A and B are shown apart, each in its own frame.
Chain A
């Protein structure tokens, strides 16, 4: 009687899961699903991470977005939630639950991958008599390792150091590695798996291929300096030249979608410009992260119909300072990315807002109170509508259908340009200018009115252009750190550091602290300097 097997329809022992090939797919699917859905049930119930018991608060891309944007003025949150305000005031500490939520989600992805790799090893397949799966498992294992490498890349960006845990690790209290060692490990991992992934752009929907791998690698090399303090810890090649090599491959494999709005609307899984989409479906992925979070937290009841979500899904949280708006004012008019409407004191706003309006001045451009959603800019870059503004056919209106673009080819274009400006000798300034102008032309709806000349192409211009192209997509903190402007006093934005006029942050804030919980649980963990 003591040998039991679960009688719950939803709980199974390991041996049954892996009886068929489907079981492996379902576990790999779980790894991918971790970007958006926080648990095994809709509404982020049965959450994977329990240190942060609220499923939504522990979800991957939501925390990623908050941590990348709230300290940069590109987004402000009005909820007054414990933990969010310190993020935008430059006062976060190791007690911050969002800092912890991100941390534990990254390690969750790592642990999950490790389990998949242990279960899908050749030895395990032989043991189960599934030798015929070995071939297909090569790609699946490489995909899992890519997700793990991305977790390390994100972890390196946020925390500076990570415990290096693989499927073979048995340490109860792993030690962290950082800098060159961590960097090399990630690059080596990417190099090892590349051959097993599908060609760029060839993966089926929902899965990653070489294109994604290249983007991760390019991002790593582009940020080698802030990540490791040295140029290229892996080989003698200049990192920027690595970036040029990689982005060339990407640029050759993908093309910009001519219609900007395609990227941010329902159906964006069909665009050519997105290298990897995190799939969202209003019925099948009922989580509170990724596009759902960005849309829901970015709208309130006044605009819920405009972005097409129900009243309850209009959370009225994220707005922005005028800095996004200002980035378009110094440029020729016609940039669709900066299309703004001022609906202050306007009861008829619904008719006034055109479907391609991305920025809205709701009650005034200035922010006197960061905790007032209506002040500053409200941002509607992402919407739960088709690209032409019509509503999708699906009835569900709480959960959105728009996928989350994790990597875009436009980023590769701008990375190429940046690498050239940072001294890569294997690229040309002419090609850099060409790529930047392609991005700008697309933003101007095909017009060259905004195009720049070679003299305009400076690092400062690129930082601003990245702000115009990628606002609210979760890039800003990393970019500012790389340009050494995240903490400095020379580059201020409204409410930087919680002051209306902006203030410098202490340099230690270029990375986040290791959460208190980990310091308590792992005696080999240590805090980052300054926290």
Chain B
């Protein structure tokens, strides 16, 4: 009998005579019978999620084995599209991250669990706000301006990558504590089964399920955290500021007289230590063949910016019964989340940098909510003056409520008459709704119009519904040394989105229908897919997949796309010359080729059609005396079609020295053709100056290495060190249909309105900065308005702009280590980024002495305390494009350090577990960057919400 860690029988354990392929599996009661020849020495017991045990047979006839859970081993089986495969049989580049490997700490959004954990994936949060959105890029992103987000599949439901009004991050509605694994599919042979949505990789998220026939298990986890801002933007303090104003304008000037006598540090006024708490309880086990898991979670997280908070309550149910002698497996998952957001007014971040430090937070009177503001002689707010940052926070109430439910029912039926054949049917639904409102107080100075028009309100709601139906047949057969697995199926998915925004310039509910803006859209994806695996002698593996996708987004002629892939693997360790090797435990060579597609153009479901937009009541026209709404024909490309990425991947998976060193190494090349791109067209040739079209090609070439070593493993002491290394270089290979040496490229990277800082240029990396090279004085100060005349024609114009680095790092390195000694454990993880540049938009805006005093509004503003380094005074329209603002964005970030203690039991109670731990998050960022944080997704830093440094205490109980 084989039992699990609790002594319950464990069915389905593979029992194999070591060194042979002969074996059996345990039955429902964990029992097994196996005839062994006398020459057999050892039996090997293996089961997913448990440590494989080898037991010497000797003279025993009954061998009872207790299995031990091993999270390490969970990754031995990996989920792939429409099924799963043993890791050792995977032919594609697939990386699984299990609960054990995930980041610990104050984590509100699931993607944060996997930051830095595997090669080839870059996750950048948009800032430190709780629930902030993150950008995920797998292998650098295959597209230029089509959606570059990977496809995310949660328990069989492919979900939309964009959020909902009132919640930017769609994954933040999933409780991280419920997640069992992330599986990252990177190359085409792994992703092609998802066809048109697979170009940017696929992340499959599975949630935890109940275990077999277990008795009730209760797990409780609890976390408390506090986060603080570790770095502030350095601006002039009040006294320095007084000196500067006196020096620049003199002590009899209007500017001097405009100063107050307070000493206010505005950044201190808007930031605070942020508290967070997370509580999770789960009940799991099995009742009469019905494995179940029920979880309830509650999370509340403040932002370091005052008034910011997110609260999430989540419930998850998983039922995984089997019927008819296990012929029918049912997998039912339902997750429900209720999120309440309170959004701080992030305008306060920039305002705190720019607000004059010599004035107090409160004015001492009751006007404008009691906040000090720039007012005129009659006490009315002066238009276009800086706004008190504290008022911005406190006089705006911005809240949303988001509900989301993801339900999935998967039925897998093995035919009674032909058990090799099974049918799988999957129904899934992901539905979300949100409602929210932004209310600005009627006494807020910055929205004041006149005695009648004050305050502001914006109310919105949105509903999104994504329905999926899948059906496939699977057939597997082993004949001698040949094994075939074939599957084929059909998938239908519908995305529906509708909502309403309503804006009103008044605080009260004065009806103003001109500003009511309802919207709705939908699209369909219909697909046929199939996959065939062939294994010869358990050594040579061949996988072929094909998918045909149809989307409603494109016009009839361009609607269908075909996405094939082919991959092979060679398990070298199964060859006779390695089979008995002590050195090499596993060695597999993989190679694959495939084509994937992309059709996701965020925000436009009718992008392939000529549409007309009706104007609203505020944009009418009149003929005679009748006013009417106008129709605008929208620009589009009638030939818009699928973007296609051709992927080639080669890799090695290995385990050597008793599995002490394991890892994988991949090299890839991806070329995307017919890039879906928002391009500036030659003026007048389309109905919009920028349209979505198929333009150009892009290559990504990269190397990935994942490595895990276990230097020490004894009964008491375990130490592992892991690392991952990513090199990715992308290059634009084509942008126009005809090669034209005069064609510079596509401007991108908009900063402000109409200022494009970056250029897509053939031969260069995506989003390369394209700027004027700043000229410096001998003592190193930038000379205002002086740039290098690159072509020497005596005129500084666009021809003198040069490519000046880019925002995409060439190298990413993640490191992590885990040590456990007796009951103690310790883990650490961190990341490096190399060869990336960042545009310091904050310095560009305020590293100058320009308009410290604005004579028109007669108001003061503060500047960066480094402003003396430029001394820039006048405006110069090229200043925005100066190379001076581009800095090195290399960094090392210490993401996570955890120290924990595991108690054998809770106060000595039987069958109980307890663990306490302390985690520090974002403890250190080493970088030469002059701004707050060098990690900004598009490389253009424009008032980032500071990422807090957090200390967290956690407690886990299990019984």
Q: How far is the CA of A155 from the CA of B686 in the complex (A)?
A: 18
Q: What are the 9 closest A-B residue pairs judged by CB atoms, nearest first?
A: A42-B618, A522-B682, A372-B855, A54-B753, A373-B856, A107-B684, A29-B621, A30-B630, A204-B624
CB contacts (< 8 Å) of A347 on chain B: these are: 377
Q: How far is the CA of A125 from the CA of B450 in the complex (A)?
A: 51
Q: How far is the CA of A78 from the CA of B383 in the complex (A)?
A: 14
CB contacts (< 8 Å) of A103 on chain B: these are: 683
B880 CB-CB contact with A under 8 Å:
yes
Q: How far is the CA of A94 from the CA of B795 in the complex (A)?
A: 12
Q: Which chain A residue lies CB-closest to B560?
A: A2
Cross-chain contact A101 with B620 (CB below 8 angstroms): no
CB contacts (< 8 Å) of A58 on chain B: these are: 754
Cross-chain contact A523 with B383 (CB below 8 angstroms): no
Pick the contact of B615: A40, A50, A119, A204 (CB < 8 A): A40
Smallest Cβ distance from B698 to chain A, in angstroms? Answer: 18
Smallest Cβ distance from B79 to chain A, in angstroms? Answer: 28
Cross-chain contact B614 with A12 (CB below 8 angstroms): yes
CB contacts (< 8 Å) of A283 on chain B: these are: 514, 617-618
Q: Which chain A residue lies CB-closest to B622?
A: A206
CB contacts (< 8 Å) of A33 on chain B: these are: 615, 619-621, 630
Cross-chain contact A285 with B685 (CB below 8 angstroms): no
Cross-chain contact B856 with A42 (CB below 8 angstroms): no
CB contacts (< 8 Å) of A94 on chain B: these are: 797-798
Q: Which chain A residue lies CB-closest to B880?
A: A82
Q: Which of A84-114 contact B (CB under 8 A)?
A: 85-86, 91-97, 100-101, 103-104, 107-108, 110-112
Contact A6/B619 with A80-B851, A165-B685 known, Cβ cut-off 8 Å: no
Q: Which chain B residue lies CB-closest to A114?
A: B684
Cross-chain contact A40 with B550 (CB below 8 angstroms): no
Pick the contact of B622: A9, A107, A279, A287 (CB < 8 A): A279
Q: Which of B381-397 contact A (CB under 8 A)?
A: 381-384
Contact A107/B689 with A40-B615, A281-B627 known, Cβ cut-off 8 Å: yes
Seen from chain B, the residues whose Cβ lies within 8 Å of a Cβ on chain A are: 376-377, 380-384, 447-450, 452-453, 492, 494, 498, 505, 514-515, 517-524, 526, 550-552, 556, 559, 605-606, 609-625, 627-633, 635, 679-690, 736-737, 740, 742-747, 750, 752-756, 759, 795-798, 850-851, 854-857, 874-881
Q: How far is the CA of A315 from the CA of B384 in the complex (A)?
A: 7
Cross-chain contact A57 with B383 (CB below 8 angstroms): no
Cross-chain contact B628 with A29 (CB below 8 angstroms): yes
Cross-chain contact B855 with A374 (CB below 8 angstroms): yes
A230 CB-CB contact with B under 8 Å:
no
Q: How far is the CA of A111 from the CA of B636 in the complex (A)?
A: 12
Pick the contact of A1: B492, B609, B615, B687 (CB < 8 A): B492
CB contacts (< 8 Å) of A284 on chain B: these are: 617-620, 622, 627
21 A/B residue pairs, CB under 8 Å, sorted by A: A9-B520, A26-B628, A40-B614, A82-B877, A93-B797, A115-B633, A163-B684, A174-B685, A206-B621, A281-B620, A281-B622, A310-B450, A311-B383, A311-B450, A373-B856, A397-B449, A397-B450, A518-B683, A520-B745, A521-B682, A521-B746
Q: How far is the CA of A42 from the CA of B798 in the complex (A)?
A: 34
CB contacts (< 8 Å) of A171 on chain B: these are: 682, 685
Cross-chain contact B616 with A42 (CB below 8 angstroms): yes
A207 CB-CB contact with B under 8 Å:
yes
Q: A4-B606, A284-B627, A311-B383 are in contact. List 17 more A-B contacts (CB 8 A).
A: A1-B492, A1-B526, A4-B522, A8-B519, A33-B630, A58-B754, A80-B875, A82-B879, A92-B877, A111-B686, A119-B633, A172-B737, A286-B618, A310-B450, A317-B856, A372-B856, A517-B747
How many A-B pairs fall under 8 Å by CB?
A: 339
Q: Which chain A residue lies CB-closest to B851?
A: A80
Cross-chain contact A311 with B685 (CB below 8 angstroms): no
Q: Which chain B residue lies CB-closest to A269?
A: B622
Smallest Cβ distance from A416 to chain B, in angstroms? Answer: 31
A371 CB-CB contact with B under 8 Å:
yes
A14 CB-CB contact with B under 8 Å:
yes
Pick the contact of A205: B381, B625, B880 (CB < 8 A): B625
Cross-chain contact A520 with B875 (CB below 8 angstroms): no
CB contacts (< 8 Å) of B612 on chain A: these are: 11-14, 17, 27
Cross-chain contact B523 with A95 (CB below 8 angstroms): no
Cross-chain contact B682 with A42 (CB below 8 angstroms): no
Q: How far is the CA of A371 from the CA of B857 in the complex (A)?
A: 10
Cross-chain contact B621 with A518 (CB below 8 angstroms): no
Q: How far is the CA of A217 from the CA of B683 in the complex (A)?
A: 25
Seen from chain A, the residues whose Cβ lies within 8 Å of a Cβ on chain B are: 1-4, 6-14, 17, 22-23, 25-27, 29-30, 32-33, 37, 39-43, 46, 48-54, 57-58, 78-80, 82-83, 85-86, 91-97, 100-101, 103-104, 107-108, 110-112, 115, 119, 163, 165, 169, 171-174, 204-207, 279, 281, 283-287, 300-302, 310-317, 347, 369, 371-375, 395, 397-398, 513, 516-525, 527, 530-531
Cross-chain contact A50 with B740 (CB below 8 angstroms): no
Q: How far is the CA of A360 from the CA of B193 in the complex (A)?
A: 73
Contact A316/B684 with A93-B878, A206-B623 known, Cβ cut-off 8 Å: no
Q: How far is the CA of A62 from the CA of B251 in the complex (A)?
A: 39
Q: Which chain B residue lies CB-closest to A347?
A: B377
* B interface majority secondary structure: loop
Q: How far is the CA of A374 from the CA of B613 in the complex (A)?
A: 42
Cross-chain contact A110 with B877 (CB below 8 angstroms): no
Cross-chain contact A30 with B632 (CB below 8 angstroms): yes
Cross-chain contact A40 with B613 (CB below 8 angstroms): yes
Cross-chain contact A6 with B524 (CB below 8 angstroms): no
Smallest Cβ distance from A41 to chain B, in angstroms? Answer: 5
CB contacts (< 8 Å) of B684 on chain A: these are: 107-108, 110-111, 163, 165, 174
CB contacts (< 8 Å) of B753 on chain A: these are: 52-54, 57, 97
Q: Which chain B residue lies CB-closest to A525?
A: B682
Cross-chain contact B683 with A104 (CB below 8 angstroms): yes
Cross-chain contact A371 with B736 (CB below 8 angstroms): no
Smallest Cβ distance from B512 to chain A, in angstroms? Answer: 9
Q: How far is the CA of A57 from the CA of B745 in the complex (A)?
A: 24
Cross-chain contact A82 with B620 (CB below 8 angstroms): no
Q: How far is the CA of A24 from the CA of B448 in the complex (A)?
A: 40
Q: Which of B633, B686, B795, B851 has the most CB of A within 10 A?
A: B633
CB contacts (< 8 Å) of A79 on chain B: these are: 856
Q: How far is the CA of A167 from the CA of B607 in the complex (A)?
A: 22
Pick the contact of A521: B615, B628, B681, B687 (CB < 8 A): B681
CB contacts (< 8 Å) of A311 on chain B: these are: 380-381, 383, 448-450
Smallest Cβ distance from A290 to chain B, in angstroms? Answer: 13
Contact A517/B623 with A4-B522, A316-B384 known, Cβ cut-off 8 Å: no
CB contacts (< 8 Å) of B449 on chain A: these are: 310-313, 397-398
Cross-chain contact B878 with A174 (CB below 8 angstroms): no
Contact A50/B875 with A10-B614, A174-B682, A285-B620 known, Cβ cut-off 8 Å: no
CB contacts (< 8 Å) of B621 on chain A: these are: 29-30, 32-33, 206, 279, 285
Contact A521/B630 with A283-B617, A286-B514 known, Cβ cut-off 8 Å: no
CB contacts (< 8 Å) of A92 on chain B: these are: 877
Contact A2/B550 with A26-B630, A310-B449, A521-B681 known, Cβ cut-off 8 Å: yes
Smallest Cβ distance from B341 to chain A, in angstroms? Answer: 24
Cross-chain contact B519 with A301 (CB below 8 angstroms): no
Pick the contact of A13: B610, B630, B680, B683 (CB < 8 A): B610
CB contacts (< 8 Å) of B613 on chain A: these are: 10-12, 40, 46
Cross-chain contact B755 with A97 (CB below 8 angstroms): yes
CB contacts (< 8 Å) of B623 on chain A: these are: 25, 29, 204-207
CB contacts (< 8 Å) of B685 on chain A: these are: 111, 165, 169, 171-174
CB contacts (< 8 Å) of B515 on chain A: these are: 42
Smallest Cβ distance from A378 to chain B, in angstroms? Answer: 11
CB contacts (< 8 Å) of A22 on chain B: these are: 628
Smallest Cβ distance from B43 to chain A, in angstroms? Answer: 54
CB contacts (< 8 Å) of B759 on chain A: these are: 520
CB contacts (< 8 Å) of B609 on chain A: these are: 13
Cross-chain contact A112 with B687 (CB below 8 angstroms): yes
Smallest Cβ distance from B313 to chain A, in angstroms? Answer: 32
CB contacts (< 8 Å) of A9 on chain B: these are: 518-520, 614
